[in-house]
Amino acid sequence: MFKIVKSCCTAMGRSVAARHIIVGLTFVCTCVCYIERVGFSIAYTAAADAAGISQSTKGLILSTFFYGYALSQIPGGWVAQRIGGRRVLLFSFIMWSLTTAVVPLDPGRVKAMVIARLLVGVAQGFIFPSIHNVLAQWVPPHERSRSVSLTTSGMYFGAAAGMLFLPGIVQFSGPRAVFLAEAAMGGTWALIWLMCATDPPRSDRSKALSAGFGQSTKYGNGKGLLPLTRDKEHKNGFVIDTTTPEKSRASIPWKNLMFSLPIWAIVVNNFTFHYALYVLMNWLPTYFEMGLQLSLQKMGSSKMLPYLNMFVFSNIGGVLADYLITRRLVSVTNTRKWLNTGGFLVSAFALMMMPTLRTSWGAVLCSSVSLGFLALGRAGFAVNHLDVAPRYAGIVMGISNTAGTLAGIVGVGLTGQILESAKAANMDLSNPNSWTQIFCIPAFLCIFSAVIFLMFATGERIFD
């Protein structure tokens, strides 16, 4: 088996650039992770409902993943910085795959389920910081946008695939079969990654860590952006970093990272993106059934359209950003700002329109436009990690993704409290107008975050 996989990887390497194989594997990585997340919700909910488990216990089990996920983001970025994202990714997949395969699906064993979901959350918390560490080493500046966008679009493709196929597995083979299928996918990916993924040659790493299309800048002593005083050579319009590997292992500038306004612009937008995403992912089905009196079963595949739209628009944003930058039509900074602002503002408008369109297709249209343009905006803030701090991209991603995970916990919980308060006040939740506050909160956050990114974001490298 190992020889077969190794020969396939070697054959691909002859015809495809190594970095393209890496990007393709990271796309599959995020796809499998989101299949696991969607699959657990589907399988556990089916098993818990059959066992008569209370809604509060279900909520506890379903939310435990996010606590582990939030706790391991920054440590994951630090570990990836020290030992390399390639190794951390492999460890993460082995850890969550084994946990999924070994732990039995027994809704009555609450402690065992909590520990298992906590472990899976911790393991998967290493993934996105490690991916950014890997991409920062492999991908040159003119391919950053589309590479990161393709990688992250795997989340939406995986969510859509999970929603389409996994309920059938539950129906015909039982909930436990979903766990085994997910563990098999995780183990297969880990095997392929072990055999195909390598660290980049020093020459490729220097090109990937280059500052971009203009003069690079460095975050100094907190007084602003200072010129780099480092060895570099110019080639094909890029500033190519010639720093030795020993220098790249210098101490991490934690203080400057934490007090950098461009970093906080990324963090704020990551928070808003995931607030809107998780609120819609978790509460849109309830809105369909309660607010619009629609049956999810009768909606068929239309409920997948928002996630498919995210997949499409995420890649459109990446390709468009790289086109604007490589053709020198727009600066890196303005490209990031325009795509981020445009995406978030259109999403805000669609969210505010949601309660006014009271048909199934109106709600699907609004949610698809909202999530699609949020994904387009990822070509702004989500790629910006690699612009401002390519050497610390994993750590910056860990910081911003911690905020994104907390946004999911806060947003999903706050939405439930708002609905409970509305019910206590005798508001009719079957009237879409009663849901206006639910959709306006993420809409206003989108507007606020777009302004913050316009004010403080930059496309220049500020951390050396």
- From first to last of its 464 residues, the chain has per-residue pLDDT tens of 545 545 555 544 444 578 889 999 999 999 999 999 888 888 887 888 788 877 667 777 877 888 899 899 989 888 988 888 899 999 999 999 999 998 878 877 888 888 999 999 999 999 989 998 898 888 888 888 888 889 988 988 998 888 778 888 888 888 889 999 999 999 999 999 999 888 877 655 545 554 444 444 444 333 333 333 333 433 333 333 433 334 445 588 888 888 999 999 999 999 999 999 888 877 777 777 777 776 655 666 676 788 889 999 999 999 999 999 999 999 999 999 999 999 999 999 999 998 888 777 888 899 999 999 999 999 999 889 889 988 888 888 889 989 998 988 888 778 878 877 887 877 777 777 788 888 999 999 999 999 999 999 999 988 86
Of the candidates 460, 139, 142, the residue with the CA atom closest to the CA atom of residue 324:
142
| Distance, CA of 310 to CA of 6 (rounded, Å) | 33
Cα of 11 vs its chain's centroid, Å = 30
CATH fold label, 1-210: Growth Hormone; Chain: A; (1.20.1250)
| Strands of 208-337, DSSP E | 217-219, 225-227, 232-235, 238-241
The whole model's pTM is what? 0.76
Helices (H), 126-196: 127-138, 144-173, 175-196
Q: How many CB atoms lie within 10 A of CB 223?
A: 7
Q: Where in the chain is the domain with CATH 1.20.1250.20?
A: 1-210, 212-464
CATH class of 212-464: mainly alpha
